[in-house]
Chains A and B, each alone.
Chain A
Amino acid sequence: MVILHAGLCPGLTAEMIQLLKANGIQTVVDFISSDLEEVAQKCSLSYKALVAVRRVLLAQFSAFPINGADLYEELKSSMAILSTGSKSLDKLLDSGLYTGEVLELMGAPGSGKTQVCLSIAASVSHSLKQNVLFIDSTGGFTASRLLQLVQSRTEEEEEQVEALQRIQVAHVFDIYKMLAALQELRHCMSQQVVCSVGPVKLLVVDSVSAVVCPLLGGRQSEGLALMMQLARELKTLAREFGLATVPTGIQVELDIGGYEALEERPGASGEEL
């Protein structure tokens, strides 16, 4: 819902906005969905001017449809499949991580989620030479372990150093900072600013549930709203910029109760590895 303000489009002056506001039309949606004849009469504005403004606003704010064939062509040319570095995992995932998609890893404590994340990051950074952003919210990222994983792939020190330099790590420990990090990444990529290394191809979030769990439950639904925000950010990043996104979650066995509409496994859908 965008608020009408002067300069939003040519022909929309401040006086017009004042008159419209006085009659209860504040946002673009209000304007477009109202009956222009009535508005022209009530606000004593020219009907032609209103129609012209509406045309411009519609052009500016509506979404354009795209046909299936074009979509398919676009996907074929832009989607890439990143190998995870482990053959059996690749086979399970139908040859690897697809860019533009979100893959969720879920598991009990100590089952190896962080290790899989590290090894995927090492493989993408070293074998495919792509940049990786690793968002760590549990403190489980150990650079020496990552070095071990990279060393098992190559003996040369220079390659190891390069591979490590392509992986950026951000430490965020609460939901707002994580949302800020994701939005900063989105901003960075949409401006095509070279963030010191280049465009990111893989985003790993370890783990999503660590920042979401403190918010869920009880009678308030704010936590759910924030969780959905986070999910939407991840999905948008994956779709718009062609990233492969890998968040991890936890698996809780017993039903603690008190969760009405929500399963206690945040993000329960997804492949369990």
Chain B
Amino acid sequence: MQRDLGSLPLAPALRARLVGAGFSTAQELLEVGPCELSKEIGISKEEALETLQVIRQECDSNAVRTGGDPTALRKCTALELLEQEQAQGFVITFCSALDDMLGGGVQLTKITEICGAPGVGKTQLCMQLAVDVQIPECFGGLAGEAVYIDTEGSFMVERVVDIATACVQHCQLIAEAQQEEDHHKALETFSLEGILSHMYYFRCHDYTELLAQIYLLPDFLSEHSKVRLVAVDGIAFPFRHDFEDLSLRTRLLNGLAQQLISIANDHKLAVILTNQMTTRIGQSQSTLVPALGESWGHAATIRLILHWDNNQRLATLYKSPSQKESTVPYCVTPHGFRDVQPPPPSQTPEGSEMNPRKRPRIEEDKQ
């Protein structure tokens, strides 16, 4: 196969030597043995052997088109992809308005970015999703495990316990109402201990650790193949403070984005990132925009912006390839991320003094 040397992943110095010796395509290199190659270019025999192996691997993976070779270029028709997508599940958020807006929940094989001002509920949503991905299939979940990468230190185990307990109770209510066998069997494994033991937590203190963690994630995922969610809470934090070289930052972030989408695609999982907000000062006004710059905006497939409106929290779907842009309200309760409960109809602004004989209804937090 006539593959140009420039398009093969070789070290620049090595490539310069190969071109200097007159090689220009991979075919020519493959005809030469490692001993001849090492003599021609002046590199050691081991290096020559390694180089030839790399080239042979690249060319072979192109030659094998069908067959179960996982490194070969996988092409499929749009029809097959459609069937795959329809068979895939979603990670639900327990807030039905948000799920509807997203088209069923957080999609697998895509990167979803959650941006918001401090305190609006990004970490809460991440923790909720890390619990929800573990819901058994008979209750409509994915029965997967979760990887939680924390860079800000905002992960609170006690909060996850609250969320998980509420989720288990919810499933128990469903099981009691429907009385099916597999529901009860699933509930045996779907308990607080089960949920917590299937959540893998990594703490990264600076951007080097974060990069290392994400680049080493494929090895971890090949051992734990049931992982269906990778949440990176705080992708902006390590990159925003103390970073002088902005072009390096762009390069690193773009490389990170490509690595994440590649992981999401290969292992069929959903990637959630949380991002901070920054102020863009325009000519006459200033607006809050997601941090990390314009080029990072292209990294996430789906972008969700959480913001306040007086006392109400709202979620806006800002960027999505398949859903319409819209805004929905949500709230964060002691049980986790939930829909906004509609206000009781008998409540009037003046209070219950209008009708002293009627006791005001106390809103119970139930799902």
Chain A residues with a Cβ under 8 A of chain B:
1-3, 5, 26-27, 108-110, 114-115, 118, 133-134, 137-148, 161, 164-174, 176-177, 179-181, 183-184, 187, 195, 197, 207, 209-211, 213-218, 220, 222, 225-226, 229, 233, 250-254, 256-259
Cα of A259 to Cα of B247 in the assembled complex, Å: 8
Taking A173-B262, A187-B2, A213-B251 as given, write out 6 further A-B residue pairs in contact, using a Cβ cutoff of 8 Å, ordered by the A residue number. A1-B24, A118-B321, A197-B77, A229-B7, A258-B245, A258-B247
Whether A170 pairs with B81 at a CB distance below 8 angstroms is no
Cα of A257 to Cα of B262 in the assembled complex, Å: 29
Residue in B6, B252, B262, B303 whose beta carbon sits within 8 Å of that of A225 in the complex: B6
Residue in A144, A181, A210 whose beta carbon sits within 8 Å of that of B73 in the complex: A181
Residue in A2, A145, A173, A226 whose beta carbon sits within 8 Å of that of B24 in the complex: A2
Whether A210 pairs with B265 at a CB distance below 8 angstroms is no
Q: Contacts of A220 on B, CB cut-off 8 Å?
A: 12
Whether B7 pairs with A218 at a CB distance below 8 angstroms is no
Q: A183-B62, A254-B294 are in contact. Are A210 and B81 (CB under 8 A)?
A: no
Nearest residue, chain B, Cβ from A211: B258
B76: Cβ under 8 A from any A Cβ:
yes
Residues in B1-23 with C-beta less than 8 Å from chain A = 1-4, 6-9, 12, 19, 21-23
Q: A3-B23, A169-B78 are in contact. Are A179 and B73 (CB under 8 A)?
A: no
Whether B250 pairs with A167 at a CB distance below 8 angstroms is no
Whether B7 pairs with A176 at a CB distance below 8 angstroms is yes
B117: Cβ under 8 A from any A Cβ:
no
B326: Cβ under 8 A from any A Cβ:
no
Q: Contacts of B298 on A, CB cut-off 8 Å?
A: 109, 138, 207, 209-210, 250
Q: A109-B319, A250-B298 are in contact. Are A218 and B78 (CB under 8 A)?
A: no
Whether B82 pairs with A169 at a CB distance below 8 angstroms is no
Cα of A208 to Cα of B54 in the assembled complex, Å: 25
Whether A216 pairs with B9 at a CB distance below 8 angstroms is no
Whether A174 pairs with B258 at a CB distance below 8 angstroms is yes
A-B contact pairs, 22 of them (CB 8 A): A139-B110, A142-B321, A144-B85, A145-B321, A161-B79, A164-B77, A164-B82, A165-B77, A165-B79, A167-B77, A170-B73, A172-B73, A173-B258, A173-B265, A174-B258, A176-B9, A187-B1, A210-B299, A216-B251, A229-B7, A256-B250, A257-B247
Whether B75 pairs with A170 at a CB distance below 8 angstroms is yes
Whether B248 pairs with A217 at a CB distance below 8 angstroms is yes
Whether B22 pairs with A217 at a CB distance below 8 angstroms is no
Q: A174-B262, A181-B73 are in contact. Are A110 and B85 (CB under 8 A)?
A: no
Whether A176 pairs with B8 at a CB distance below 8 angstroms is yes
Q: Contacts of A145 on B, CB cut-off 8 Å?
A: 321-322
Whether A169 pairs with B77 at a CB distance below 8 angstroms is yes
Nearest residue, chain A, Cβ from B263: A173
Whether A252 pairs with B295 at a CB distance below 8 angstroms is yes
Whether A167 pairs with B73 at a CB distance below 8 angstroms is no
> Nearest Cβ in chain B — how far from A259, in angstroms?
7
> Nearest Cβ in chain B — how far from A3, in angstroms?
5
B134: Cβ under 8 A from any A Cβ:
no
Cα of A176 to Cα of B55 in the assembled complex, Å: 12
Residue in A138, A144, A161, A254 whose beta carbon sits within 8 Å of that of B322 in the complex: A144
Q: Contacts of B93 on A, CB cut-off 8 Å?
A: none
Q: Contacts of B318 on A, CB cut-off 8 Å?
A: 110
Cα of A228 to Cα of B254 in the assembled complex, Å: 19
Whether A180 pairs with B73 at a CB distance below 8 angstroms is yes
> Nearest Cβ in chain B — how far from A206, in angstroms?
10
Q: Contacts of A134 on B, CB cut-off 8 Å?
A: 78
Whether B262 pairs with A147 at a CB distance below 8 angstroms is no
Q: A1-B24, A171-B74, A176-B9 are in contact. Are A213 and B1 (CB under 8 A)?
A: no
Sort A-B residue pairs by CB-CB distance and give the 5 closest, nearest first.
A109-B297, A143-B82, A214-B255, A173-B262, A145-B322
Cα of A3 to Cα of B301 in the assembled complex, Å: 47
Q: Contacts of A259 on B, CB cut-off 8 Å?
A: 247
Q: A184-B73, A256-B246, A256-B247 are in contact. Are A139 and B111 (CB under 8 A)?
A: yes
Residue interface mask B60-91, A partner, CB < 8 A = 1: 01100100000001111111011011100000
Whether A164 pairs with B79 at a CB distance below 8 angstroms is yes
Whether A214 pairs with B62 at a CB distance below 8 angstroms is no
> Nearest Cβ in chain B — how far from A48, in angstroms?
26
> Nearest Cβ in chain A — how far from B212, in angstroms?
16
Residue interface mask B145-175, A partner, CB < 8 A = 1: 0000000000000000000000000000000
B217: Cβ under 8 A from any A Cβ:
no
B264: Cβ under 8 A from any A Cβ:
yes
Whether A226 pairs with B6 at a CB distance below 8 angstroms is yes
Nearest residue, chain A, Cβ from B61: A180
